[in-house]
Amino acid sequence: MTDPGGAVGSGGTGGPALELDGLVKEFRGRRVVHGLSLTVPRGSLFGLVGPNGAGKTTTLSMATGLLRPTAGVARVLGLDVWADPAAAKAVMGVAPDGMRLFEQLSGRELLHYVGGLRRMPHEVTAARAEELLGVLDLRTDARTVVADYSAGMVKKIGLAAALIHAPRLLVLDEPFEAVDPVSSETVRTILRRYVATGGTVVMSSHVMELVEGLCDRVAVVADGRVLADDTVAALTAGGSLHRRFLELVGAREGVGDGLGWLGTAPEP
Amino acid sequence: MTLLVVRLRLAMWRSAMTRSALHLTSSVLGGLGALAVVAVLGPAIALLVLQPERVVALTVPLFASLTLFWTVLALAAAGVDNVLDPTRFAVLPVRAWPLSRSLLAASFTGIPAVMLVVLALAQTVAWTRGPGTVLAALLAAVLGCLTAVLGSRAATSVLAAVMGGRTGRLLGAVVVSLVTVLPLGLNLVVSRGGLVTDLASFDARGAAVAASWTPVGWAWALPFDVATGRWGPAAAHLVLAVLLVAGLWWVWATRLARVLTSPLTTSGGQRIGRGRLLPVLLGRSPVGTVAARRVRAWYRDSRLVSIALRTAVLPVFFVLQAVVTDLGVFAGIGVVSLGVFAGLTLMNDLAFDGEAWWLHVSTGLRGRDDRLGRVVASVVVFGPVVALTFGVSAVLGLVDPVVPWLTVTVTAFLASLALATLVGAVLPGTAPRVGGNPFAASSGGAAQGCALALLSFVGPAVLVLPVLVPAVLTRGTAGEWVVLVVGVLYGLVLLAGAVVLGGRWLEHRAPEMLGRLAHAQL
């Protein structure tokens, strides 16, 4: 990796923030990710879209050191994730989807916990935790255990936990799922500001409108392969990402004339 | 609909078994165990037919206590068999009464229920003294089995309602943990009485009459009443037993009706204290951070609360038994086994974290910090309990000589911690689901569970042996102090080795462990 002077994450310069090279994942001999390669430039807000079961979560897990790939290389800011996991994990923040948090801790305790694990000075952790809780509208529930949080609140506290050590790269799996419109706008603002200061975001989603409005680059993944990878403007080419996505993944014929019996149950 | 639900249950059972070899193995083992129990108990009960009435009367207290234990055990095991969780029927247009009938039928397809029915039939054989008693015994079998099954259903459904919230769950955990050690209390009472060795002078009629007036004994008393010609009590028992079955069914169906209309359990936003003490005590290093979280979990997580209570209450009975029977060795065994149990609680620590453990992986926490943090937490939680139990037993003069017992207790605690720290890093074990029933089996009876159970029994014994032998040999001499020091050092070395080795293994296999943890909560 050419990164003279060690100016890691100094803005849009230097090597890519995330580089996936020929990632393969097999579960019991069944291949779900087929030699996937992807390059995320620094300072971009990168969207990973694809239908259900496309391998988005699997790919992001392999990129963040949570799932060992069968083959292939993942590099974060030039650091090989699987050769030196700890070094790579130190520079990125991760918020996986559907994985539980330590639910017996309150929101504030969870943030302090992550800070402690990352060996941050306690004063820094505490100050950042308060700020994050405030911005994400979680302060009134800071002393409630995460077990009693709603799905959207869990998403927000997960995002806060990923941000607390000021990482260079943020990897978010479905960050907007179950988040209300107001909080969603807050999260978008946070992400835009984060990118403006030189950070890089990789997020997966299956809400096309959201990706189109927020991301500058997007990759379409289906069946464990990259179908397209370009800037949003180039990919949509004047149309909508929604239409382009359906074209790429090969939208099946609609339901046609079937299901004609829907709504024929007798009135009570 | 009944047939449909029974078929559904069998289909789910089959698919669970074909999907995983572990499930199949545990089911087969469970089935064989049940068969063994029935093969021994069944004929024994049936052969009572050859005995005089005063001996056959034994079936009344026997089946009454069986019914009681059934209900208590069902509380302890609730959630294990949630294949037919009634909330899953909430979106379907079914009514509570027909559903309860179907679920009742389905619950008789389980191995424990089949065992109960077979034993109840053996009871009918035992009462083959005339058409009257056979009829009464059959009626008793039907009503008694219904009482047991409906009683467990009613109790679990009421408890589930109480345990919707976090505070309720904690409360339920406390109550049921104490109830599940009830049999030990009974054992204490019985141990005063001595064993029955002579059948010729054995008379169970008194016990039968006493048991017949408890709710769990009403049904089972019918053949005894008929055989002894006590028609008044027979009529009373019949009416009471029928009313009990009807009442239990009504309670259960009412709860079902409630569940069908509000399947989502609500839990209010409970706030917790600030927890400022623990960081001060344990520091803010990664080790201290992990330790503080584990300590918090031991009193916040209802699953762990029930384990901690049972672990701590068990030795109390040993100590009490020592007082009652005047045999000090019971107290010593109690204290040592407390040390072992307390150490082994670390064994499935990772399973209790479950997938949430990804946070340790994602933050790049070092394996040995993870291990050591948990060890510190276990010492903080259980160290005082072990010390207190030992101190009380020593002051009461129950553990004697003191120093060798102390040596063995401390070594057992440290060695078990070491064993659990190392094994827990390789085999995560299983744990009940978060926020689910805290009494679900904490060790799945699968192959991994068998390996862990074997290690838990054999491991501590093997590890303590090198210290146990010199401790016994040097008792009463000055050498016992040397052995104490050596024993503590030996335990600490084991622990350090386990932390380093377990930590290294965990660090190398973190993603694989995470994959296993995704399925570690049952």
pLDDT in tens, B250-308: 998 988 888 777 655 444 445 566 666 777 788 889 999 999 999 888 877 777 777 77
Is residue B425, in this structure, part of any structural domain at all? yes
- B239 with B349, same domain: the answer is no
Nearest CB to A101; choose among B269, B359, B363: B359
Distance CA A250, CA A242 (A): 12
Any A CB within 8 A of B508 CB: no
Same domain, B234 and B314: no
Closest CA in chain B for residue A110: B293
**B250 and B384, same domain (yes or no):** no
Task: Specify the pLDDT at position B482.
Answer: 93
Q: Which of B264, B363, B513 would you mutate first to test chain A, the one with the most A CBs within 10 A?
A: B363
A76: left (phi over 0), alpha (psi -120 to 50) or beta: beta
Contact of B328 with chain A, judged by CB distance below 8 Å, is answered with: no
Q: Check: CB of residue A221 under 8 Å from CB of residue A49.
A: yes
User: Closest partner residue to A148 among B267, B356, B366, by Cβ?
Assistant: B267
Structural domain tally of chain B?
2
Nearest alpha carbon to residue B66 among B38, B43, B100, B31: B38
Using CA of residue B256, residue B258, residue B260, residue B266, what is the dihedral sign? negative
The CATH number of A12-91+168-250 is 3.40.50.300
CB contact under 8 A, B270 and A145: yes
- In chain B, the residue whose alpha carbon lies closest to the alpha carbon of A94 is B362
Q: Is residue B45 part of a domain?
A: yes
Q: Say if the Cβ atoms of A114 and B271 lie within 8 Å.
A: no
Q: Does B289 touch chain A (CB under 8 A)?
A: yes
Tell me which residue of A156, A180, A174, A205 sits closest to A97, measured CA to CA.
A174
Same domain flag for B239 and B293: no
Q: Which of B166, B284, B434 sits opposite A100 (nearest CB)?
A: B434
Which range of residues forms the domain containing residue B472?
281-517
Helices (H), B262-285: 277-282
Contact A112, A133 (CB under 8 A): no
Residue A215 is classified by DSSP as -
As a whole number, the mean pLDDT across chain A is 87
Domain segments of chain A as ranges: 12-91+168-250, 101-166
- Can you read off the two tokens belonging to residue B381? 């939680």
Residues B322, B251 share a domain: no
Instruction: Provide DSSP, B453-476.
Output: HHHHHHHHHHHHHHHHHHHHHTTT
Judge whether B15 lies within some domain.
no
Domain match, B431 and B287 both: yes
Query: Looking at the structure, do residues B291 and B243 belong to the same domain, yes or no?
Result: no
- B297 touches A: beta carbon within 8 Å: yes
ipTM comes to: 0.84
User: Hey, are the CB atoms on A144 and B269 less than 8 Å from each other?
Assistant: yes
Q: Both B390 and B308 in a single domain?
A: yes
Question: Which single residue is written with the structure tokens 């070594």?
Answer: B411
Question: Which tens digit of pLDDT belongs to each residue from B106-162?
Answer: 888 877 788 899 999 999 999 998 899 999 999 999 999 999 989 888 887 777 666
Residue B376, pLDDT score? 95
- Per-residue pLDDT of chain A (268 residues), as tens digits, is 333 333 444 444 578 999 999 999 998 888 999 999 999 999 999 999 988 888 899 999 999 999 999 999 999 999 999 999 999 999 999 999 888 888 888 899 999 999 999 999 999 999 999 999 999 999 998 888 888 888 889 999 999 999 999 999 999 999 998 888 888 999 999 999 999 999 999 999 888 888 998 999 999 999 899 999 999 889 888 788 888 888 888 766 566 677 888 888 888 8
Residue B207 lies in a domain: yes
Query: Does the N-terminal peptide bond of residue B438 adopt cis geometry, omega within 30 degrees of 0?
Result: no
Around Cβ A93, how many Cβ atoms within 10 Å? 27
Separation CA A240–CA A125 (nearest Å) = 42
The DSSP bridge pattern shows strands A200-205 and A169-173 to be: parallel
In contact, A48 and B496? CB cutoff 8 Å: no
Last residue of a domain, one of B217, B232, B261: B261
Residue ranges of chain B whose pLDDT lies below 70? 16-17, 19-23, 26-27, 72-85, 87, 160-201, 262-276, 432-451, 522
**Å between A46 CA and nearest CA of chain B:** 20
With an 8 Å Cβ cutoff, is A86 touching chain B?
Answer: yes
Same-domain status, B206 and B308: no
Pick from A89, A148, A165, A172 the residue to mutate for testing the B interface (most B CBs within 10 Å).
A148
Q: Is residue B44 part of a domain?
A: yes
B224 and B348: one domain?
no
Min Cα distance B499 → chain A (Å) is 17
Rounded-to-integer distance, Cα A21 and Cα A71, Å: 9
**Are residues B270 and A144, on separate chains, in Cβ contact within 8 Å?**
yes
Q: What pLDDT does B266 receive?
A: 46
Quick one: pLDDT at residue B182?
60
Asked if the Cβ–Cβ distance from B355 to A100 is below 8 Å, we say yes
Q: Identify whether the C-beta of residue A81 lies closer than 8 Å to the C-beta of residue A158.
A: no
- Within an 8 Å CB–CB cutoff, is residue A109 touching chain B? yes
Kindly state whether residues B217 and B304 are assigned to the same domain. Answer: no
- Amino acid A254: pLDDT: 64
CA A211 to CA B465: how far, in whole Å? 64
Using the Cβ of B511 and the Cβ atoms of chain A, whether some distance falls under 8 Å is answered with: yes
Nearest to A104 among B285, B301, B359 (CB): B301
pLDDT reported for residue B16: 66
